[in-house]
Structures are given as C-alpha cells and as structure tokens.
Structure 1
Amino acid sequence: MIPFLELSKHLATKGHRTSYVSAPRNLERLSPNIPQKLVPFIELVPLPLPRVEKLPQNVEATSDVPFDDAELLKKAYDGLSEPMARFLEAASPIDWIIYDFPSYWLPPIADRLGVRKVFLSLMNGWSSAAFGPSSSMVKNGTGTWSNPQSLTNMFRSGSSVHDCDVFAIRSCRELENEYLQLLEKLHRKPVIPVGLFPISEEEGKRENDDTWQSIKGWLNSHTNDSVVYVALGSEFSPSQNEIIELALGLELSRLPFFWALQKQAYKPLELPDGFEERTRDQGLVWTNWAPQSQILAHDSVGAFLTHCGWSSIIEGLQFGRPLVMLPFVLDQGLNARVMEEKNVGIEIPRNNDDGSFTKNSVAQSLKMVFGDILGKIYRAEAKKLSRMVSDKSLQQHYTKNFEKYLYNNRSIPET
C-alpha cells in the first residue's frame, strides 16, 4: 500500500488529482501519512470488503492474516469489481488507473470506460522477469476466469500484466537495467521504473515518540556498527522451530542484537526457555511495533538480519547496512541470491533437503558479516549501493519521468 501512496503523493505535488481506492481500515492506516498540503489532491475512497467465509471480520491487509489465508483476502477483493466499476463510472473522466496484481479483473472495466491502465509491480525486475512472459504466466497459473476460486497469484499477475498498457515497476536502471530491458522484451510493453521510494527524512523523524525514545536509549548504549537489527516482516511468520534456532543463533553469536518480533494473535510463538534472561545484557526483544527506518539509521546498527522482502532490502541499503539474509517465501530467495552476488551480505545456509537452518549457521553468518575480511567487503558494497538508493534527486528523476509519461499519453476526449 505504501508505494502506491508514495506515488500518489508525488503526482499530487505536481497538481494531479488522484483517488486512492482501498478498504476502509487500510485507508485509516494511510491517512496520517498524507501531508496536509496534499489532502485536497488525494481523495481516499473506501470500498468495504464483502464477507468471505472463514475470513475474520475487519481483515483488510495481508499483514492481518496468516500467510496461508491470504487467498481468502484476495477472494474478498474480487468482490469489489462491481463497486469499483460504479465508482469509476461516477468519477469519469479518468485518465489513468494504476493497479496491483490482485485486481486482475480491473482492466476490462477500464477498457469499457476508455481509461488507460498501469500495472505497478512492487517486485524488482529480476523477480518479475523470472515468471516469463505474461502469456505463460496465465497459461501456467492454473486459474480460469470462470472459476475465480481457483485463481493463483501467477494467473492474477499474468492477467494484470497482459492487459495493462504500461508496466511500471519499483526499481531504477542504475540497479538492474538489464532486467528492466528483459521485461520489455518479455511483455512487449513500455516498462517504466518509478524509482525505489526510499524513506524520506520527514517519514523517519519520530523524536517526540515515547517508543522511539525508549529504543533510542538502548541503541545509544552501544558502540557504532555493533548491533544486529533483526526483523522478518509482517506478512509471513516463521515456524516455532525456526524462531528457536534463530534465537539460539543470536545468543551463540554473542553480538548485541535488537529483535523486532511482533507477536501475532493467530500464531503465537515462544522464545526458547530462559532466552531473554540469558541475553538480557546482550540484546533486546521488542514485541511491539518498531520504527524500522530510525533503527536502521542509528549509528550503532552494523547489520540487518532480514527476510529479504523488497521493501526491507531497499530500506536496509538506503542506510548502508550489510544484510544477513534469511528468506522464506515468494521472491525472497531470489532477492537474497542477487544481493549476495552484489556482495552486500550473506544468506544464512539451509539444509538442501528440508530447507532447515541451525543456530550454528545463524551465528557463523553473523560473525562473517561483522568480521574483518568478508565483512569489510559487505560493508563497503552496502555503502556504495546506499549512495544510489538514498540519492533523492535520482529517485525523483524516475517519478518525474513517470508523471511526464502519464501526462503525455493520457486519454484525450474526442471533440
């Protein structure tokens, strides 16, 4: 949701009016992030989700449900096709509609109303290209238009790409120009990078926040580049055994750590017996929301142990933190391989047969990143990429080019 809002904010700064459509609670979460001066240009349009069997009430985002239940949420969003069509008809004229892959049903509605279509991929180019051309994605996705309950992410993505006019992507050419060129060849459509949307200085400031003051006090007690920041995202929860091995690995490394471990009601996980007591002078387990960008920006943080979601990688590299990578699902494994090739960190080894990892592999990986030999390379390469990711003028160049393309290729009413 955040990248779509960031793009909306950029378009609003140029005087364009946007309508951000989502479920009501999602919009409540986003509204505080809209600067007051942009409020007149960004209309938040709430469309309540229809009830779906087995989907808990008030669930509207993938972070609200277990990973395996995300399909139920997509099914609920499929029920928005008619309300969305009514909104678009009432809001006409509209020049462009920018959408994500779950809304595979949106292009035919836009075509009927003469609205041009942008598919915005929140994955990077190497991950997007791995799926092949959109025709193969649709064919191999096993879903059918007549049976929505059987739809897969592959089918939704393939249909969304196949039916769009423009393929926009959260990326930049300095990072992966060859993959962006490959996407154009695969899909035979304009592929426009919109930039990486790094965290802005305004978003990162929470000086008067009690939560940040407490965390900052702990971080301030450690020397520069000494702390491991651990965060595994909000959309996938590791297994109980994986939590135990990770915890014991952190303990075994003897490195200071700050672990942002949000406990989820639908999947309670327990730390090893006595872990927090044994490591109270070594690390801190934080079980509430944590301001990730501010933590990563703090001088005491020397590495980021991450699940390798694209947003987290961007954030880690923005602040020049080498990565200790523990991917679990979707594009995370491929992200880890590419980042390892770029020498910005190391992937924690797993057993080739069952995919498991051990406390020893965690500890050894951490020690390598903090070490004097390979660690020096990882730190240098992470700092090098940081200069590109955090280059405000460079990233704004991409959003400006995208805005210019939309303006020059907008639908012109017939006279």
Structure 2
Amino acid sequence: MRKKMAKELHVVMLPWSAFGHMMPFLQLSIALAKFGVRVSFVSTPKNIERLPQVPSTLASLINLVGLPLSELPNGDLPDGAEATVDLPFDKIPQLKMAYDLLQDSFQKFLADQSPDWIIIDFMSHWVIDIGQELNIPVMHFSAFSAATGAFAGPPEYLTGEARMKVRPSMESLMSPPPWVKFPSSVVEKKHEAFYMFNFFFGSNGTQFSDVERLAQIMKNSQAILIRTCSEFEGPYFDLLNELHEKPVLATGFLPPDVPERTKFDDQPWKDIFKWLDEQKPKSVVFIGFGSECKLNREQVHEIAHGLELSDLPFIWVLRKPEWAKDETEVLPPGFGSRTRGRGVVSLGWAPQMEILSHESIGGSLFHAGWGSMIEILGFGHSLVLLPMIADQGLNARLLVEKGLGVEIERADDGSFNRQDIARALKLAMVLEEGEPLRLRAGQAAAIIRDMELQHQHYIGQLVHFMESYQTK
C-alpha cells in the first residue's frame, strides 16, 4: 500500500550500465514508489528493454527513460553493446567512454524535469557538477556491502598522496586499512589484490580512474546510501558514518519479492521442477555464477568434478561459455551420464528466484556477489563461496567472518581444485560440523525477509530524509 506524503517527491536514478548495478537501482525505485515517490529510472534503450517488468500497481510512478549511447569517434564499441554483459572484459573501457557521453542528454532531461533528488552510482562523477548547476541535491547509492565501503575508506584516502601512504601497492590491499579499528578479515587475497590494484586504482582507459570517480562522488554528494542494514553489518555501517562527513543511510537489503510457484509451459522446466519436487527438503545445491562471471574451461571442469565428488543432488545454471563451440564441449566428458538422476545442468536462462524458493534447495555455490547473496540467504540457504571479480572476495570474507558461509580454498594464483569444492559443499550441506552455519543462515533469512524492517523502517527513513532535506 502506498504511503501518502506531504509533497510528491520526484527522484531521478542513474545506475552504471551493468546489471549488478541496474537491478539494485530498480529495486530501490520500486521500494520508493511503494511510498508514493515518483521515479525516473534512466539507462540506455536496450538496457531498459531487458529489465524485469515494473509491478503494474506502480507503473504510473516509475518512468523508464532510455537515453541512447553516442557512438565513439573511433567506433570501438561493438554494435548493440550497452551493458558490461555484452562485452569481453577488455572492451569495458569503451563502454565507460560512451557512458560518459550521456552527460549532455542527461543534463537536458534533468533541466526539463527539475527533480527533487538525483541518485547515482559510482561511475557518473560528472553528475555532481550538473546537480550543482541546476541546484538539485545528489545522493550516491552503493550497491556494495558496508564492509566493502569501509575497506575502500573515506574519499581523501582514495587518491593522491594520502592514498599512496595507505595503499601504495597491491600488498597493502591484503590487510585491513588503518581506519578499521576492530578485528576484521575483510581483505583481498593475493590474486584479487593484483586485479583490484590495477583495475580500481589504475587507468580504465578514460580520463578518470574508477577510484577517482568514486572519490569525487562521495566527497561532493549530499548523502550516501548503502544496500545493507545495521542489524546485519553493524560495525562496518557504523564505521562508514564515522568516515564520511555527511549522512550515511541504509536502504535495507531491498530483497526481491518471493515468487509464486509458476506453471511453466516448456517441457524442460516442467521436468526440472518435477525432479525438484521429488528431492528431499533442503537437500539440493544450487550453482550459479550470474551473467558477469565468465568462467574458463578449467574452472567449469573443476566445479563439475567437485559436484560429482560431493555426491550431493544439484541444479547448475550455467551460461554457455564463449570458448565452447557447442553444448557438448562445456562439461567434462561423461559428466552427464555419471550424474544422471542426481543433478541437472541448465545452459542459458533459468527462473532463478523460483528455483531458490523451492523447498528442496538447501545451499548455493556462487560467486559471493552482494545481490545474489541477498537472494540466496533470504531463503536461509547455506553459502558456498567462490568469488571471481570486483567486490566478491570482500563479501566472501565478510560472510565467513559472520559464520554464514564456507569459502573454497584457492592458490595464490586464484586456482582451485575439485577436492576443495566437494569438501566445502559437504560441510555446508550435510556434515555435522556445518550445522551452526545452517542455523545462522536461517537466522539471517529472518532479518532479510523482515519487511517491516527492510521496507517500512529503512525506506521510510530514507523518504523522510529526502522530504525534509533543504537545498542550501
């Protein structure tokens, strides 16, 4: 039910062109619309088309706005590429360049709409100047955990000489920063630190590095929003409030709605759900690495062999890799016949929320992405963590620190083996020593699914802040 407000707020959202960012922004848009806030969600036309449908009851309050990307002078962005999922890793700098060229059309849209607030991601630092010119306050919404934000630190330590004092090398990312005064295991491992130091702090092919963009946004925005709640990340969230000289607000987890059981028309999914219905409650492992993680052949095969060794029933949603000519090349020879009846592999799209909500699912092997964690832990499933990119390693350390997950062992080069995968799966799913983890997963689910807390409290608090804010 919508809440009546003293005045109608209009908020403009601008996420970065990656689905791991667009989805939290859309979920925040829906949560705000439930309070009667009018939202303009801005992205590119193709991205808008690929978003899930907005609930019909809120369609009048959420306007999906498609601003076309400009062509790059050198034509180096492939046709139809409008999100990171459309590109190999080495082409993402071109997407950032094209994204930066949205600023003129975005400014015209803002001047025409005169919204009360602009909510932006970490990439669009140029919105700060636009907001100041048009006298519209700007919020930064972080789709990352509070622990990741605390690890990054305040803006003055992200660039320049101050950054060089605390983050002079990749090794400096492998221990907690000096402003984290409490015991913390939220650090990078060696293979992650190499990637993070070069990708985050280094050049990204544009005039401004990712960290320079983030620093400018955090320093000059009027408030910072974090997709978390203090009941889950208390010490890290409290630290963020100490580090930033401005309001830091939690949005809550923005958990997606639990889907109703769908009757699927296509025979493969009818058969898969019939198979799930036949399994024991909490017995099946779900495996999924999303659309952004591009696993190589060795990784896919080690995961497959680990599943085979675990003897656990499983359902694996696997995106067809670019290195495989056809489906027969994706999995190890004989894997399908050896696991027939015990496991299901689905290549391509899958109804992930419907699978996760099924009573036979008891755990998940996944990449420790923050949004996926919220979906999976929201059903009380055990977490087996195999982080791949970006913030996922930091999330994995946080979840292990909280006793909610088992992280698969890795060598310094990031490689892993089938024995460690099988060992982690069995610990999380069936072994007696994993029982405390399974118990805590259920307790965490109660927090994530507490809509009075997640929606009424946190979103209500955010709406009140936006209503009462006075532009200087």
Q: What range describes the TM-score normalised by the shorter chain of this pair? A: over 0.9
Q: Secondary structure at the match of 2:152?
A: coil
Q: TM-score, normalised by structure 1?
A: 0.92
Aligned positions of 1:319-338 closer than 5 A: 319-338=379-398
Q: Distance in 2 between matches of 1:41 and 1:199?
A: 18
Contact 2:380 2:444 in 1 (8 A): yes
Q: Deviations over 1:91-110 (max 9, x none)?
A: 22x21000101111111111
Classify the secondary structure of the residue corresponding to 1:189.
coil
Deviation for aligned residue 1:410: 4.8
Q: Contact 1:102 / 1:156 at 8 angstroms: preserved in 2?
A: yes
Aligned with residue 27 of structure 1, among 27, 48, 52: 48
Question: Contact conserved, 2:363 with 2:381, CA < 8 A, in 1?
Answer: yes
Structure 1 match to 2:425: 366
Question: CA contact under 8 A between 2:139 and 2:222: conserved in structure 1?
Answer: yes
Q: Which blocks of at least 5 consecutive residues in structure 1 are unaligned?
A: none
Question: What SS is found at the alignment partner of 2:64?
Answer: strand
For the residues of structure 1 that align with 2:324 and 2:47, how far apart are their CA atoms?
22
Partner of 2:15: none
Q: By how many angstroms is 1:142 displaced?
A: 5.6
Is the 8 Å Cα contact of residues 42 and 66 (structure 2) preserved in structure 1? yes
| Closer/same/farther in 2, CA of residues 120 and 266 from structure 1, 3 Å limit | farther
CA distance in 2, matches of 1:148, 1:260: 33
Q: For 1:375-414, list aligned pairs within 5 A.
A: 375-396=434-455, 397-411=457-471
1:19-168 pair list within 5 angstroms: 19-30=40-51, 32-52=52-72, 53-92=75-114, 94-139=115-160, 140=163, 149-168=206-225
Is 1:318–2:378 an aligned residue pair?
A: yes
SS of 1:346's equivalent in the other structure is: strand
User: Which residue in the other structure is 2:232 paired with?
Assistant: 175
Q: Distance in 2 between matches of 1:198 and 1:332?
A: 19
- Farther off after superposition, 340-349 or 363-372: 363-372
Equivalent residues, number = 405
Between 267-276 and 297-306, report the one with greater CA deviation. Answer: 267-276
Report the Cα distance in structure 1 between the residues aligned to 2:201 and 2:372, rounded to whole angstroms: 31
* Alignment correspondent of 2:337: 277
**Which of 264, 272, 296 pairs up with 1:209?**
264
Task: Tell me the distance in 1 between the aligned counterparts of 2:251 and 2:334.
Answer: 47
Instruction: Verify: 1:254 aligned to 2:254, yes or no.
Output: no
Given that residues 272 and 344 in structure 2 are in contact (C-alpha distance below 8 angstroms), is that contact kept between their aligned partners in structure 1? no
1:142–1:150: 8 Å Cα contact kept in structure 2? no
* CA shift for structure 1 position 342: 1.5
SS of equivalent to 1:298: coil
CA distance in 1 between counterparts of 2:324 and 2:67 reads: 28
| CA drift at 1:148 | 6.9
Q: Cα–Cα, structure 1 residues 224 and 37, in superposed 2: closer, same or farther, change >3 Å?
A: closer
Question: Which range moved further: 318-327 or 353-362?
Answer: 353-362
User: What is the CA-CA distance between 1:278 and the residue it aligns to?
Assistant: 1.9
1:11 pairs, out of 20, 32, 35, with 32
Give SS of 1:40's match: coil
Distance in 2 between the 1:344 and 1:177 partners? 16
Following superposition, the deviation at residue 298 of structure 1 comes to 1.1
Distance 1:331 1:132 in 2: 14
Identity %: 40
- Cα distance, 1:221 vs. partner? 1.9
Aligned equivalents of 2:135, 2:112: Cα separation in 1? 14
Deviation, 1:40, is 1.9
**TM-score, normalised with respect to structure 2:** 0.82
Whole-Å separation in 2 of the counterparts to 1:354 and 1:294: 36
- Aligned equivalents of 1:12, 1:225: Cα separation in 2: 35
State the alpha-carbon separation in 2 of the partners of residues 243 and 194 from structure 1. Answer: 35
Contact residue 374 and residue 448 of structure 2 kept, 8 A: yes
Moved over 4 A (4+): 140-144, 264-269
SS of residue in 2 equivalent to 1:382 = helix
CA drift at 1:386: 0.7
